[in-house]
Amino acid sequence: MDKKKILVIDDEEDILNLIGKKLNNSNYDCITASRAKDGLNLAKTGKPDLILLDIAMPDMDGYAVARDLKKEKTTRDIPIIFLTGKELDPQSINERIGVIGAYDFLMKPSSLKELLDKVKAAIG
């Protein structure tokens, strides 16, 4: 069976490296992008099974990236789990991701076990 492919889009290199290493060690194929626009391109060409997407990025916020992904026929059905390090109200995040059509969100920092649990719930 082929490994499930996960795209991680986050502007923090340390987060990309940590999550990438954990996913690769957990039998997932992880690809990363540190810029939102690069992540959009990878989502369209790499056909990931799941996208982990930071909300707060300098070039384009995660909500805008998700809206673009949901408009495209080739990417609209890819589950998205938002990552956020901001002290945002979880209810507000839930409302926004519901409107956008994202799967879930995860506050940073969180445990790698919690991350894997959400990934498994989304794609197995």
Res 88: pLDDT: 63
Which range marks the domain in which residue 38 is found?
Answer: 5-123
Count of domains in the chain? 1
pLDDT above 90 for 8: yes
SS3 sequence, 26-58? CCCEEEEECCHHHHHHHHHHHCCCEEEEECCCC
Taking residue 77's Cβ as centre, other Cβ atoms within 10 Å add up to 9
Per-residue pLDDT averaged across 16-45, rounded?
95
CATH (domain of 85) = 3.40.50.2300
Let me know the angle formed at the C-alpha of 109 by 60 and 119, rounded to the nearest 5 degrees: 80
Percent of the chain with pLDDT over 70: 95
Res 86: pLDDT: 64
Percent of the chain with pLDDT over 90: 66
pLDDT in tens, 48-59: 999 999 988 888
| Cβ within 8 Å of residue 110, ≥6 positions away | none
Q: Which residue has the higher pLDDT, 106 or 33?
A: 33
pLDDT above 90 for 39: yes
pTM over 0.85: yes
Res 37: pLDDT: 94
Res 101: pLDDT: 84
